[in-house]
Amino acid sequence: MVESETAAVKRASIGAKRNPASQNAILDAAEAILNEEGLAGFSIEAVARRARAGKPTIYRWWPTKTALLLDVYQRFKNTRPFPDTGSLEGDLKAFLNNQLIGFWQDRLCGTVFRSIIAEAQGDDDAAQALFAYERGRRKFAEQIIERAKARGEVSAEFNGAVVIELLAGFAWHRLLTGRLNNSDEDIDAVVAMIMAAAKNGLRS
Amino acid sequence: MVESETAAVKRASIGAKRNPASQNAILDAAEAILNEEGLAGFSIEAVARRARAGKPTIYRWWPTKTALLLDVYQRFKNTRPFPDTGSLEGDLKAFLNNQLIGFWQDRLCGTVFRSIIAEAQGDDDAAQALFAYERGRRKFAEQIIERAKARGEVSAEFNGAVVIELLAGFAWHRLLTGRLNNSDEDIDAVVAMIMAAAKNGLRS
């Protein structure tokens, strides 16, 4: 049986929808534009041109510019090893330094994330994409506390979710109020505060 | 000597620049528009029409829509008493409940503040207005810790600036990730964490 052209095209189109190579080509193009032209030069149109893809193809995978930006941002972040220093204090400092504040100081990462957060405040699709991403990162980071519990560094009752959100909130606040620089001393103070709370929990 | 019309107009104009009654009339109009039409209906043009003021008059005092919005927001906030419950724990809970999370749940306050933060991420004038406001509020809130020190509840070395920023950061994070509701249990957990750190500081 000879496959009709329509069927073949339809199949190819469905295939393209799930083709990681094409997705990566688009993400590569998006990343290159960000690196070369900054956020101001970033648009679905520019990415389509550079990736030699149709705009509809891009919109099929990323409903908004913010969703595409968030995926590029995640690729940047995934190049950073997640902290596992062997101590709670070391992990919390590395989390703030490498995953949050220090990461945002690197190239455009902070600028991109600020603009994603801003976009999410007025656009429901952008908000859902950011909230899902952020929830996932927070859950992932809670491993820091789980490991500390396994080592007996903190009690089983220690509220890991709240600690991670306090640290993330502190870092977001620094990013959004333009105060990423000169955070080192305050990062130490934040971590010292959490460590003091953790020690108190073990004693009581 | 008879004053020339030009001089009189000039004087009136200078007077108007510093006339708190006119400023209040504009802020009243801005507040009424926000209450009646929401953020979508809010524009310098709409405020000028309602206040029967010229747009240039408004722009002379508020260079951007965001600056005007921030002043209306401050008026909302100033109607809330600042917490002074007599204990650090009570003050920290009231700070989160009344000044931040609970305040943002009231009418449009959270929506307005989200949009101010978002605007500040892409506009330098809006950023400077927000940063100055935020810095002032933070310094003001540090009184909570100063009072606790005066009562001997926490040691003199306790880092009040970091505590206030941790709480503010937590609240901003909740606001910007659409999770203001059902925060009560987590507010208690955040305050318990700070209290544990404070007690540890006193013991050591």
CATH class for the domain made up of A82-203: mainly alpha
Cβ contact B177–A121 (<8 Å): no
Chain A from 122 to 181: CB within 8 A of any B CB: 122, 127, 130-131, 134-135, 159, 161-163, 165-166, 168-174, 176-178
Question: Cβ separation of B170 and A169 shorter than 8 Å?
Answer: yes
CA dihedral A77, A80, A82, A88 (to 10 degrees): -110
Mutation test of the interface with chain B: which of A163, A200, A202, A203, choosing the one with the most B Cβ atoms within 10 A? A200
pLDDT in tens, B169-191: 999 999 999 999 988 999 999 99
Question: Which DSSP symbol is given to A2?
Answer: P
- What is the torsion angle, in degrees rounded to the nearest 10, for the CA atoms of residue B28, residue B32, residue B33 and residue B38? 130
Mean of per-residue pLDDT scores for chain B: 89
Query: pLDDT for A101-157, tens place per residue?
Result: 999 998 899 999 999 999 999 999 999 999 999 999 999 999 999 999 999 999 999
> Whole-angstrom Cα distance, residue B86 to residue B77?
21
Write down the pLDDT at residue A21. Answer: 73
A5-61 has which fold? Arc Repressor Mutant, subunit A (1.10.10)
Residue pair A125/A64 in contact by the 8 Å Cβ criterion: yes
Interface probe with B: pick from A69, A139, A170, most Cβ of B within 10 Å: A170
Convert the pLDDT of each residue in B29-41 to its tens digit.
999 999 999 999 9
Lowest mean pLDDT among A74-78, A160-164, A173-177, B185-189: A74-78
Question: Rounded mean pLDDT of A157-165?
Answer: 96
Q: Would you state the pLDDT for residue A1?
A: 39
Say yes or no for a CB contact (<8 Å) between A193 and B165. no
Q: What is the pLDDT of residue B81?
A: 86
pTM of the model: 0.89
Residue B95 is encoded by which pair of tokens?
């700070």
Residues 62-121 of B with CB under 8 A from A: 114-115, 117-121
For the domain B83-203, what is the CATH code?
A: 1.10.357.10
Contacts of B169 in chain A (CB under 8 A): 166, 169-174
Q: What pLDDT is attached to residue B20?
A: 72
Contact residues, chain B, for A189 at CB < 8 Å: 159, 162
CB count, 10 Å around CB of A147?
18
- The whole-angstrom separation of Cα A160 and Cα B149 is 28
Tokens of A156: 């089983």
Q: Give the chain B residue whose CA is nearest to the CA of A110.
A: B121
A39 touching chain B per CB within 8 A? no
Amino acid at B51: A
Q: What residue in A sits closest to B162 (Cα-Cα)?
A: A190
Closest Cα in chain B, distance from residue A166 (Å): 5
Nearest one of B136, B129, B134 to B67, comparing CA atoms: B129
Backbone Cα Rg of chain A? 21
Write down the domain spans for chain B.
Answer: 5-61, 83-203
Quickly count: other Cβ atoms within 10 Å of residue B204's Cβ: 10
